[in-house]
Structure 1
Amino acid sequence: MTNENVGKLGDVLRALDHIMLTTHDQSGHVVGRPMVLRVDHFDGSLFLIAPRDSRVVANIRANPEVNIAYTGPKTSLSVAGRATVSPNRDQVAARWHRGLDSWLPGGADSAALIEITVDEARFWTYTGEQHSPLPIRGEMRQIDVADFV
């Protein structure tokens, strides 16, 4: 993958503050939930913070394959990768930000860090001026940012 594509994906990710994280539960069902996202620097890994004893953490420990999705008026995004979980308080504290306060009132002491290593990403940008539902008028551009590994 080119540095240019990593940069483009990083630009898209930095503009987001919430995403949907999809995991697999213990029965193999696909489960999604909103998560706070903050990207200061993107080099192929994303970091999320979740309650240490949450289902999302248990799901990732059982099956690390995850997807992050977002869609908005001008951009849509799908990122596939493998996640790991660290309960290390120092790692959580290093990535803590005020946007997490309302989601995790117990603070960094009650949280775990989720690191997602991106395997594949696709994003679409809409360059038209209309914000109407389908059919889309204007140009829709897909950029595949595959092969991070």
Structure 2
Amino acid sequence: MTSRDEHLATLVELTKESRFCMLTTVDTDGTLVSRPMSRQDVDLDVEMWFIATRDSRKAQHLRANPSAGVTVSTDTSWVSLAGTAEIVDDTAKLEELWSTFAEAWLPEGPQDPNAVLVRFDATTAEYWDNPGGKVSTLISLAKSKLTGQPYDGGENEVVTGL
């Protein structure tokens, strides 16, 4: 049986190369809304951080309903995280996480009064991993076609209690 720490290590390994992800929030009418975000920091044992604007739709969604999801993908893996997110006003943390990339949206820097943080805390995750990459996928697809057996897409796990 795989321990929580082993699952967390796998999740970190599968997501560490991906700077960008999709953050999903819930609109006031219940519609799920996803948008690309740049991760500022990741420690799946605790939290993920994003920089946002205070007046953004995502910030409005999270103030009304903290339920959120994050999806991260690479060439060989896909991770779906579910949990909660909150808007955080913390200038010191914003300065710590600030990058020149964030300046495209907030040119005044971390002191911009419209700059806020989004802290995402994962409670569950599901991941799919094909460690052999594209070549392994193509071989597995060809094998499936030749043998008539279902495609084995690699490892798939659901992780709870994060």
TM-score by length of 2: 0.79
Q: Does 1:34 align with 2:48?
A: no
Q: Residue 76 of structure 1 corresponds to which residue in structure 2?
A: 78
Q: Does 1:140 align with 2:142?
A: no
TM-score by length of 1: 0.85
Over the matched positions of the two proteins, sequence identity in percent amounts to: 27
Unaligned runs of 5+ in 1: none
SS of alignment partner, residue 11 of structure 1: helix
**Contact 1:73 1:131 (8 Å CA) reproduced:** no
Structure whose CA Rg is larger? 2
Note the 1:12-31 alignment, pairs <5 A: 12-31=14-33
Q: Residue 112 of structure 1 corresponds to which residue in structure 2?
A: 116
Q: Does 1:94 align with 2:96?
A: yes
Q: How many residues align?
A: 147
**Contact 2:22 2:36 (8 Å CA) reproduced:** yes
Q: Residue 67 of structure 2 corresponds to which residue in structure 1?
A: 65
**Contact 1:9 1:145 (8 Å CA) reproduced:** no
Shift of 1:5: 1.5
For 2:106 and 2:137, how far apart are their aligned partners in 1?
34
Distance verdict in 2 for CA 1:61–1:73, change over 3 Å? same
RMSD (Å), alpha carbons = 2.3
SS of alignment partner, residue 101 of structure 1: helix
Unaligned runs of 5+ in 2: 145-150
Please identify runs of 4+ aligned residues in structure 1 that moved more than 4 A.
Answer: 134-139
